[in-house]
A and B are shown apart, each in its own frame.
Chain A
Amino acid sequence: MTRNVAIVGGGQANWGERDATWKDLAQEGGKATFDAVPGVDPDDIEGLFVGAVQPERFANQTHVAPMVAELLGIEVDEMIARTELACASGQAALRYAWLAIAAGQLDVAMVLGVEKMNLGREHMPEVQSSMANVLDREFDGANGLAAPPFFAWYAQRHMHEFGTTREQLSLVAAKNKTNASRTDFAQFQSTVDPDEVTDSPEIAPPLHLYDCSGITDGAAGAILMSEAKAREVTDTAAWITGSGQSTMAGNSINNLPSFSGWPQARKASQNAYDQAGIDDPLAEIDVAEVHDCFSISEIIEYEELGFAERGEGGQFIEDGRSHLDGDVAVNPRGGLLGCGHPLGATGVSQALEITQQFQGDVTNDRQVDDATTGLIHNLSGSGSVHSVMVLDRDPQ
């Protein structure tokens, strides 16, 4: 890449079951973002990238990027688009903004992820139906296959092949939910112990309620800048030093490479590590925001992102190595399990957490000591795409 690009800051609306519309959430997320970055206002934004997965189904609204531009008073002169990559839509938006700035097309971009998902109890079947559309609807969604049973297969196979235990799944969920109790905007604000996870109602065996991320309304925004511009507004930022994605050309069930692992995550992270000059991810990455849509996901990600050997993800959490004071602090924000998962906003919020960890702005005793290198990871759909971005406190 020809130019360094920094995430200089941003903010979140409150996440949860909100008495708010899609447009309300977009405005709240936008305001929180501009409030958090003094020296940047809507007139400075040259490119706007909006991560949103299902506004058509959840809010009966399409063409949402220009709607956000109007709501936030942004006159875009260079680039505007919505990104849709299911659960990785926020990271996809970050990636487009990064490349546009790196290529010299623009200097200042806003990324805003927004999702409205809670439509009231009586409309939950519509929400679940829309979630099943994320898979190949004709051959997989038609089987009543939604996210919980799909990820339950991975838990079952990982237990079967590697001896991963129910207790290890509970340790992941308890860690992340407890971390979220110290995150102001998070959907879930209570500390949870591992027994409470195991004792929570069964959703899709072997997964229980607390193994699953929530149905969440939320928004998160971030400002990305070229190096010259970033230096004008902040001393410390998160510089994007590597980014990778991998699909392996499989999306429907027959064409996925594994039901106990994600070789796509291994490929995507290896590409990102190569760009960022990382040889030993466990030694070099201090803080990681990974896609814990379900507890099993984080265990597999320890392995595929290079923190643990294949099959040893369960032991990795059991040994406490992913805790705030462990070898790599995984999901200090509280992850999807604790913060909730407003689909389009998640990746943006993960990147903000890393930025704030570098800036030393993290409140409530969840600051990771001297964090200088971080990572965000999202999987999307049937895990058919994995997206990884490496961030560093110093530009390359």
Chain B
Amino acid sequence: MTDTSTDDEREQVSVPSEIEFPRLLDFYDLQTADQTQIHEFYDNLRAGQFTTTRCTECDAIHFPPRIVCPECTGDALEYVDLPHDGELFAFSAVRGGLPLGLREHEVPYVVGVVDLGPVQLSGRIDDAAYSDLEIGDPVSLKIVDIDGPTDDDRVFYRFEPQ
């Protein structure tokens, strides 16, 4: 190969070395009526109520909340309250390998399956070390505000030992 140019003749093309944390890499979904048709779930959560959808045609309770009933394909759904207290059904702890979007200081954290009766769902178990917990331990729901890369007021739920 023949060298046909020198470094100082080259035009420089620059790309950003840093970008702000993009909303699409953020784990939490947008929660408002202009973004999601299950906004009522988030509105209720923001008001302190943990709810999900129930089908008025076949009585099925869904979680996550839906807009179409997977049991009967009906779309006449209503929001009903779920219990805030339940039992730890299974749990483990994340020690490393933190996904992008979580903060370093969060490791280690406990993540488990919580049995609330009508539904059995995944959740973070805050304020508890793995070694302090046992299957069957009573836990309660708590609601947290999300401070992230959007101007919306967002909320989510976690659990803590009773």
- Interface of A with B (CB < 8 Å)? 124-126, 128-129, 131-132, 136-146, 148-149, 152-154, 156-157, 160, 201-207, 249, 252-255, 259
Contact = CB atoms under 8 A, between A and B. Distances in A.
B97 interface: yes
28 contacts: A124-B97, A125-B98, A125-B100, A125-B101, A128-B100, A129-B27, A137-B29, A138-B29, A140-B122, A141-B27, A142-B29, A143-B124, A144-B94, A148-B94, A149-B92, A149-B111, A152-B92, A153-B91, A153-B92, A156-B92, A156-B135, A201-B95, A203-B96, A204-B92, A204-B94, A205-B92, A253-B113, A254-B63
Nearest to A125: B100
B92 A144 contact: no
A10 to B, nearest CB: 32
A125 B103 CA distance: 11
Nearest to A154: B90
Nearest to A137: B27
B73 interface: no
Nearest to B70: A249
Contact of B89 (A137, A144, A255, A259): A259
Interface string B98-110: 1111100010010
Interface in B126-162: 130, 135, 156, 158
Given A126-B100, A128-B99, A204-B95, A145 B70 contact: no
- Count chain A CB atoms within 10 A of each CB in B29, B70, B100, B156 and give the residue with the most: B100
Interface of B: 25, 27-29, 63-64, 70, 89-102, 106, 109, 111-113, 119-124, 130, 135, 156, 158
A124 to B, nearest CB: 7
A201 B96 CA distance: 11
B90 A259 contact: yes
Given A126-B25, A156-B91, A203-B96, 16 more contacts: A125-B101, A129-B99, A129-B101, A132-B27, A137-B27, A140-B122, A143-B124, A144-B27, A144-B94, A145-B122, A146-B94, A149-B92, A149-B93, A153-B112, A153-B113, A252-B64
A125 B92 contact: no
B62 to A, nearest CB: 8
B121 A253 contact: yes
A137 B24 CA distance: 12
Contacts of A249: 70
A259 B113 contact: yes
Given A125-B99, A153-B113, A160-B135, A142 B93 contact: no
B155 to A, nearest CB: 12
Most buried by B among A131, A141, A153, A154: A153
Given A149-B92, A249-B70, A142 B97 contact: no
A244 B94 CA distance: 34
B5 to A, nearest CB: 26
A179 B91 CA distance: 31
Contacts of B92: 148-149, 152-153, 156, 204-207
A209 B109 CA distance: 17
B156 to A, nearest CB: 7
Contact of B100 (A129, A140, A201): A129
